[in-house]
Amino acid sequence: MRLEASIDVSRLLLQYGLPFRGHDESESSINQGFFLGFLRRHGDKHPDVGKVILKNAPQNDTLTCPMIQKDIVNACAKETLKAIIGDLNGDYFGILVDESKGISHKEQMALVLRFVNKNGKVVERFIGLVHVSDTSACSLKKAIYSLLSVHSLSPSKIRGQGYDGASNMKGEINGFKTLIMKYSPSVYYIHCFAHQLQLTLVAIAKKHLDVEYFFDHVSNVLNVVGGYFKRRDLHRDHQAKKLEKLFEFSEVQKGQGLPQERGLQRPELNDRFDVVSSDLLLGMGSLNPVNSFSNFDKGKIMTLAKCYPSEFNDGKIRDLGYQLDTFIIHTRSGNPKFSNLQGIRDLAKALVEANLAETYSLVYLLVKLTLILHVATAIVERAFSSMKHIKNEVQNSIGYLREPLIYIKDIHEMSNKIGEIFQ
């Protein structure tokens, strides 16, 4: 019962990314960490548990020491990763990679897998943080392959790669992208569109003095107003009064999707993005099920399939053509499972729910390969944002439990009935 209580509290702290230990963990301290505090609260709520934990436990069997906490965290990490790998089930996947220095000033690399699970849902799962001695392409490749090997994942199953566009990642000669594609030519790289947008705006600002002048002023305003809470509050009050007057005279309207406070309409800059691969993009667009597959183009889809020669040899290309002929008739025949689909994500789930993933196995495979390609790397960068909350300067200096190699979202999904601890 003592171990079960310690496990329940540990899972709760992991779920919300809270530190375990405080500055002073002694019994008389008022600065104990969350672990001891929540465990005591758990005992107060459940007298049968309270009788056997903390001061009521044998002195050599309290199961609250840092080593026990770390063992529990490591066990949770292993079970979470085991569930992720099981969900992947040996299928194809894409990788998202980013590197950054942690609070301990060590270069760390984060790895996220993107795949379509057995329910036809595309998911992105954080696998781990790895310390790398340097950020050269060779070092990163070695670290990634090593991490994949630990979880019995074969690099031959990689079918997509996404990074932020740094030269060591996307370099055409010695970049990480090139090293991966030498091993498997079908591991297509997509430069994060969010970073492309940033580069596009910078390029425009440099070529147009008025735009550069505008962004300089915006930057100055943000620094002046955003740097002090008092100025920020004054600005918000002024803006709120201004909006009230505009609403009063019906000069602006409220509502979802309409311009709100601090809202800026985004310019259409798609034509300034570099085309990753016209065949890939056109094929993906032809698979889009919106408006009863209004963009369906068998020729472009067949060309897309030829981009994956390992999966679609001459025989399977021929079979894919037959499947596509039947597939488009079937999906346009009024089947409710395929009505009002909003994208390829919905198409994958619809095929599984309608038990047609096997019937149209080659079409479904192509849909999965398409979904593995990603257009943004936000989730892998979010891992570093989470790490800043889990391990900051204060926590690092007083010996808090180090961050586990698990993603908070995944722990949340794994922690069933965690709320019972406070009932």
Per-residue confidence (pLDDT) for residue 20, from 0 to 100? 86
Same domain, 105 and 141: yes
For 100, phi then psi, to 5°, come to -160, 155
Within a domain: 268: no
Within a domain: 244: no
Question: Residue 18 in contact with residue 398, Cβ under 8 Å?
Answer: no
H or E stretch covering 189: strand 188-191
Whether residue 416 has pLDDT greater than 70: no
Same domain, 345 and 301: yes
Same domain, 52 and 122: no
Within a domain: 160: yes
Structural domain count, the chain: 4
Name, of 57-61, 139-143, 149-153, 265-269, the range with top average pLDDT. 149-153
Helices (H), 274-343: 278-286, 290-293, 298-305, 314-331
Same domain, 106 and 149: yes
CA distance 198 to 193: 9
291-303 tens-digit pLDDT: 889 999 999 999 9
Domain around 282: 275-372
Per-residue confidence (pLDDT) for residue 194, from 0 to 100? 64
Give this prediction's pTM. Answer: 0.70
Within a domain: 32: yes
Q: Cα 132 vs. chain centroid, distance in angstroms?
A: 21
Within a domain: 259: no
Same domain, 111 and 171: yes
DSSP state letter for 112: E
Whether residue 268 has pLDDT greater than 90: no
Same domain, 105 and 52: no
Mean pLDDT value across the chain: 78
* Positive or negative torsion for Cα 290, 293, 299, 303: positive
Same domain, 150 and 214: no
Count of positions (residues) in the chain: 423
Same domain, 223 and 160: no
Same domain, 364 and 378: no
Same domain, 98 and 135: yes
302-322 tens-digit pLDDT: 999 999 999 999 999 999 999
Same domain, 94 and 71: no
Whether residue 14 has pLDDT greater than 80: yes
Within a domain: 67: yes
Within a domain: 206: yes
Same domain, 231 and 279: no
Within a domain: 241: no
Write out the E strands in 47-106: 93-101
